[in-house]
Amino acid sequence: MPTKVSFPEGFVWGCATASYQIEGAWDEDGRGESIWDRFSHTPDRVRDGDTGDVACDHYHRYREDVALMKELGLQGYRFSIAWPRVYPSGKGEVNQKGLDFYSRLVDELLAAGITPFPTLYHWDLPQALQDEGGWANRETAQRFAEYCATVVDHLGDRVKRWLIFNEPWVFTVLGYLAGIHPPGLRDASTALRTTHVVNLAQGLAARAMRATGKVEGLGTAFSMGGVYPASDSDEDRAAAERFHRFNNVWFLEPALTGRYPDAYAGGTDPARFGVEPGDMDIVKTDFDYIGINLYTRSVVANAPNDANLGARAVPVPDAERTAFGWEVYPEAIHDVIMRIWNDYRLPIFVTENGSSYEDVLDAQGAVNDPQRVSFLQRYVAQVARAIDDGADVRGYYLWSLMDNFEWAMGYSQRFGIVYTDYPTQRRIVKASGHWYRDVIAANGYEF
């Protein structure tokens, strides 16, 4: 018997992308240098020396790209705005040409009947602000709020719903603790301070955006994953809970409650975050919804030797995996949505979900990606199950519209439902793209 998967009326089907990953035109029309330009232009930072200098050339091809979205029947499009296009050095004079690009993109989307859902920060900090300490510097929070208010002021007549940050956990932890994203630091105490500056930035930005009077919806897209204890023991269950607090709600919890979650086995002294009097009132942010980016899961065991969480992810042998090596575990999206819905009771958008596989353009000019179709069939069915179980999930944004610059992995990972032929910049809709178009048209599917 096939499974029938259906969605409530008004559920939004979309795709997601990010500025640095698709735009290219890195030094055009007054755009300033971003930390990803600096990082990718530094030898040995990105696989194969790849950079986002050209990427998908979306800056020049946005009209064709929006036409493609329309062909697919997309109802929503999540993209990000590059801060250094708007403020080339992070502050001071606005670069009108940068704002104009996003204004044209928004007009094009609206004309195609697609609702824009922009993210204000998807990792491309102006390098000039990094030179002053980046997210470790409290001043950056003020500059971010000013930038956000400027953008909302210019686009807010047409754009109603916004996401402030993309995955604060990823850019602080990978950038300042693991050193695999810019600025490439490995410094635990700086990393904790960036956590707090980012939270302040979010609170200040939300207030500055609302002050324009043009905002109808605000949230942030958080990186999350399924977390399951390695055994039924009390120790493993407690370790899994600490892992959830650090990996899933490390940023969400302070925004909603004004407190840092208890994730560290030995507790976390607020002084280590650099919290000053009054800060936690600013950090508290009035979200209209929560964005969840979810790809995989972790199985977690108690680990007394781990100095931080006292927890570690254990290998899952023989698991099904994507080309990136991430385990395919569809129930994770249901389980995380239910946990977040039960704990916080705010509407949820799936702001990213998808998979990378080694796609090839065949002799007939087609791209057959049955693994991605199967991945999506199973994950999206779990989103429907969460809705059936009572969670208020408003939409699903698939990562990604097209293959693009996958950060430290360069162009080696293809996440698109549209294949990007980089040498020619031709876009070829993959089998998964045809599948998604049919799902959107029917607001559901069978498999």
Segment lying near ligand GBH (by CB under 6 A), choices 66-74, 166-174, 185-193, 357-365: 166-174
Total residues binding ligand GBH (CB under 6 A): 16
Cβ neighbors of 225 (< 8 A, separation 6 or more) are 247, 248, 294, 295, 296, 297, 298, 332, 336
Contact with ligand GBH (CB under 6 A) among 236, 352, 359, 403: 352
* Contact between 80 and ligand GBH per CB under 6 A: no
Measured from the CB atom, is 279 or 406 closer to ligand GBH? 406
Q: Is 445 in the site for ligand GBH (CB under 6 A)?
A: no
Contacts of 261 (CB under 8 A, 6+ apart): 245, 246, 249, 250, 253, 254
| Member of 33, 65, 403, 406 binding ligand GBH (CB under 6 A) | 406
Nearer to ligand GBH, 54 or 112 (CB): 54
Site residues for ligand GBH, window 224-283 (CB under 6 A)?
225
| 11-40 positions binding ligand GBH, by CB under 6 A | 18
Which of 167, 253, 327, 406 is catalytic? The answer is: 167
Q: How far is the CB of 200 from ligand GBH (least distance, A)?
A: 22
- Strands 418-421 and 426-429 come out as antiparallel
By C-alpha distance, which of 29, 15, 61 is closest to 424? 61
Which backbone phi and psi does 70 adopt, to 5 degrees? -65, -40
**How far lies 42's CA from each of 31, 39, 50, 135, in Å?**
19, 5, 10, 20
**Strand, coil or helix: what is 67?**
helix
Alpha-carbon distances, residue 292 vs 89, 101, 122, 393 (angstroms): 30, 27, 14, 10
User: 290-302 and 217-229: which strand pairing?
Assistant: parallel
Q: Does 326 bind ligand GBH (CB under 6 A)?
A: yes
- 355 touches 295 (CB < 8 A): yes
Contact between 178 and ligand GBH by CB under 6 A: the answer reads: no
**Shortest distance, position 16 Cβ to ligand GBH, whole Å:** 8
167 as an active site residue: the answer is: yes
Select the residue interacting with ligand GBH from 202, 223, 353, 371 (CB under 6 A).
Answer: 223
Residue 321 backbone phi and psi in degrees, to 5: -135, 155
127 part of the interface to ligand GBH, by CB under 6 A: no
Would you call 327 a catalytic residue per the annotation? no
Asked if 296 touches ligand GBH (CB under 6 A), the answer is: yes
Q: Which amino acid is at 199?
A: N
Distance in angstroms (rounded) separating the CA atoms of residues 432 and 360: 13
Binding positions for ligand GBH, 412-431, rule CB under 6 A? 415
Which residues form the catalytic set? 167, 352
Residues that bind ligand GBH (CB under 6 A): 18, 166-167, 170, 223, 225, 293, 295-296, 298, 326-327, 352, 399, 406, 415
